[in-house]
Structure 1
Amino acid sequence: MNVARGGAGSGAGPRRELAEKCTACGQCAASCLLLEEIGEAPLDIACRGATVEEAFSCSLCELCTAVCPIGLSPAGMFAAKRVEAIAGGEFPIDDYRYLYPDRELNICKLYREKCNIHYQELPVDQEGEVAFFPGCTMITYGPDLTRAAFHHLAELWPRVTFLTDCCGKPLYQMGLKERGENFTAFLKDKLKKLGVRLLVTACPNCFYELRNRLAPEGIEVRTIYENWGPGAAGKGLITIHDSCPDRHEGIFAQQVREALRNSGYQLVEMEHYGANTFCCGSGGQISHFRPDLAMALTDRRLEEASDTGAGILAGYCLSCVLNFARAASGFRVRHVLDILLGQEEDYSEIKKRAKALFSGPEGEENWRRLMAE
């Protein structure tokens, strides 16, 4: 990644706090592959200023904050540096415009187009007080699961509407703060016009991204797992990967475990779970900025899952599931909703299918369309 080096700003707020309060105790560095790679304490990074390359190598997973004895956030410093770098033209973010959820064509929309994934049979964007918001990853790479989840909710709310929007988090994570705020304003306006008062989410990224942003509009955001009733008796030993957005509040972690236990599954925990969970490798879009580091994070997590002896590794974020499914061996990787709803989707080849969209002459045309101004 060819980018400029650090400057005087480098995320002034979080950086200043680290410079004033970090004791260089080493607890965050012991858990973070990036800090281990950098080889400096956050105190020293804050004093010199984070580089752009460091900022875009951070998965923004916030494990550093969870393990810090006084709750400091090196990830916050790196996130702030991303915003600063984009504003100052220090990073070629437009090279990654295929990720922008507000573009007419992005990577998710192209995949759905080429794989003929649509939801014309569902009440898309119809007026209603209750809406299902699966998130862009689920509607793109888990269409059968998406439909099963919608029909589950339709039993609870017969007039539930269906939304195919992104929550906008990728824009904020990439440092595109103004663009993210514009997208949030669009989403708020859309929900108001549809009369939505309750938004049910399946993705932890969407839940935590939208909950506080929509609260001032009087729109409540819930998880699909809330008050999940007993299911058919399940068999097998499951270990659960907790997603990074959930680490501080653990809402998904608690609800998912309760739902699986109610369905008869036996759970075993990895060494790092809940607040101390390791990132799967998809956080902060680093699979695009630092694929080598992303894969190292994935491998580390799969090693922990293997050590549990569980036959199933379950996740409640489909991005995490996709990362694990392409590389796992010795156990099955499943989405928690697949288990609870009796689905049998196989996610192991999806990343290969997505990559194949850009092979050969047709792939060149797909890429041209995707990157067109």
Structure 2
Amino acid sequence: MKGCPMLYGFTISPKKLLSKFTTELPTSDMAFACANCGLCAHMCPQDIDFGKVFTASKTTFADDKNVLKKYGYGAVIFHQKSSFSRLFSTTKKFTTGEYTHMAFMPGCALSSYSPSLVHSVFSYLRSKCSGIGIIQQCCGTPTRMMGDMAQFKTYHSQLERDLEKMGATTVVTACENCFMSLKTYAPHIKIVSLYSLLAQIGLPEAAKARHKNAPKMALHDPCPTRYEKEIHQDVRTLLAQMGQPFEEFKQNREKTLCCGSGGMLELTHSGLAHEQMRSRAHQTECESIVSYCQSCAESMSKGGKNGVHLLDLIFNPDFAMKQEAQGTLKKWYNRFRSRQKISALKDNA
């Protein structure tokens, strides 16, 4: 229970909660308080997965749109419709090069945070993987986390059609939610983490040894890729290659804790979410916390520390070791600018 954002609010022990489920189903309030982080299933000696129970309950509750409305689903629908609109999504395929079968997918959060960072990352990928394309699109995770599987399948199908039109049989993801969503629901597509690819092709020369005199950071592992041991190791390899001093959280890698934004928790139970953000952020004495998930980086900033994205350390020479706080309107503008930058790219031919 220690690392779970919600259990203390609903029970005094997992055993009592499980006993309760033998006679009644979870309430909607309980189901939508689950961050779907997977910690309970990993830690439980009896392999009991409360997350699966709550996920199934959400799917049932999603049949009643009034229930979803209670938990802020209107904002999710707005996000998803906008994310898949021509205003904020696009693809760019290139016709020449060895890697025309690959597409880079930065994800919603990174595009919302920094169009210039997305552009810098992709420019470097093009220099190393000639012909790689790029897709600015959502993976549909918000609707899936809310239990609306019918709507998720609609959005996921759109993403698959876009990738098919690009001829992309391999997708390189910068977002851990995108990585897991595609790995789970599109097994015919090869999914590669950007961080594993960078560990393979090498870092830009300017990134190496830039951080040897930088203050020590704590490294937070995102919970979606809890079991992706290769990604965990590759991220640590990249930090070592840069000379960036860092320390581990006590609960890291497979035992990592949710940052507070998992399962759309900030929307459905904002109090629980912000409590978890503060709790996680203060489990280290480091003032800066680096992660390879933009949502996690933002959560650590909201929790009272300096949330930093690993890609800023690699590709942003002017990064001041602190992300600038951005409102919703600025984030959507950033996504629009990112889409414009992608549309303006020229073919290699």
Asked if 1:44 is matched to 2:19, the reply is yes
Q: CA RMSD in A?
A: 2.7
Q: Distance in 2 between matches of 1:318 and 1:190?
A: 24
Between 276-285 and 152-161, the greater mean CA deviation after superposition: 152-161
Q: Which consecutive residues of structure 2, in runs of 5 or more, have no partner in the other structure?
A: 332-349
Distance in 2 (alpha carbons) for counterparts of 1:125 and 1:146:
16
- Residue 202 of structure 1 contacts residue 224 of structure 1 at CA under 8 Å; is this kept in 2? yes
Q: Name the residue aligned to 2:157.
A: 185
CA 1:335/1:238 → structure 2, altered by over 3 Å: closer, same or farther?
Answer: same
Say if 2:148 is the partner of 1:148: no
Kindly indicate whether the alpha-carbon contact (under 8 Å) linking 1:124 and 1:163 is maintained by their aligned counterparts in 2. yes
The equivalent of 2:35 in structure 1 is 59
1:126 shift after superposition: 5.7
Work out whether residues 280 and 301 of structure 1, in 8 Å CA contact, stay in contact via their aligned partners in 2. yes
1:365 counterpart residue number: none
Asked if residue 96 in structure 1 is aligned to residue 70 in structure 2, the reply is no
How many angstroms does 1:101 deviate by?
Answer: 7.2
Of 293, 298, 302, the match for 2:272: 293
The answer to whether the Cα contact below 8 Å between 1:61 and 1:284 also exists between their aligned partners in 2 is: yes
Taking the TM superposition and a 5 Å limit, the aligned residue runs for 1:306-345 are: 306=285, 310-329=286-305, 332-343=306-317, 344=319
The aligned amino acid for 2:92 is: V
Q: Which runs of 5+ in 1 are unaligned?
A: 1-28, 358-373
Tell me, in whole angstroms, the C-alpha distance in 2 between the residues paired with 1:356 and 1:186.
26
8 Å Cα contact 2:102/2:169 also seen in 1: yes
CA distance in 1, matches of 2:294, 2:146: 20
Name the residue aligned to 1:274. Answer: 253
The verdict on how the C-alpha distance between 1:139 and 1:56 changes in structure 2, with shifts beyond 3 A counting, is: same
Partner Cα separation in structure 2 for residue 56 and residue 311 of structure 1: 31
Q: Residue 146 of structure 2 contacts residue 263 of structure 2 at CA under 8 Å; is this kept in 1?
A: yes
Structure 2: distance between partners of 1:130 and 1:101: 30
1:83–1:177 contact (8 Å) kept in structure 2: yes
Alpha-carbon displacement from aligned partner over 1:122-163 (angstroms, at most 9, x marks no partner): x73566411110001111122222111111211112322111
1:112-191 alignment, distance < 5 Å: 124=92, 128-191=100-163
Larger relative contact order (Cα-Cα within 8 Å, sequence gap ≥ 6) = 2
Question: 1:266: how far off?
Answer: 2.6
Aligned residues: 312
Deviation at 1:354, TM superposition (A): 2.0
**2:223 aligned residue:** 244
Structure 1 counterpart of 2:304, one-letter code: A
Report 1:245-260 matches (<5 A). 245-260=224-239
1:336–1:189 distance in 2 versus 1, CA, 3 Å:
same
**TM-score, with normalisation over the residues of structure 2?**
0.81
1:225 aligns with 2:188: no
CA distance in 2, matches of 1:336, 1:60: 24
Spell out, residue by residue over 1:37-84, the C-alpha distance to the aligned partner (whole angstroms, 9 max, x if none).
Answer: 112423134223210010011111111111111321111111110001
Aligned counterpart, 1:23:
none
Q: Percent identity?
A: 25
The structure 2 residue matched to 1:211, chosen from 175, 180, 183, is 183
Q: Quick check: 2:93–2:132 contact (8 Å CA) kept in 1?
A: no
Give the secondary-structure state (helix, strand or coil) at the position aligned to 1:100. Answer: helix
Q: Is the 8 A contact 2:73 2:146 kept in 1?
A: no
Equivalent pair of 1:322/1:348 in contact (CA under 8 Å) = no
Distance in 2, matches of 1:49 and 1:119, equals 39
TM-score normalized by the length of structure 1: 0.76
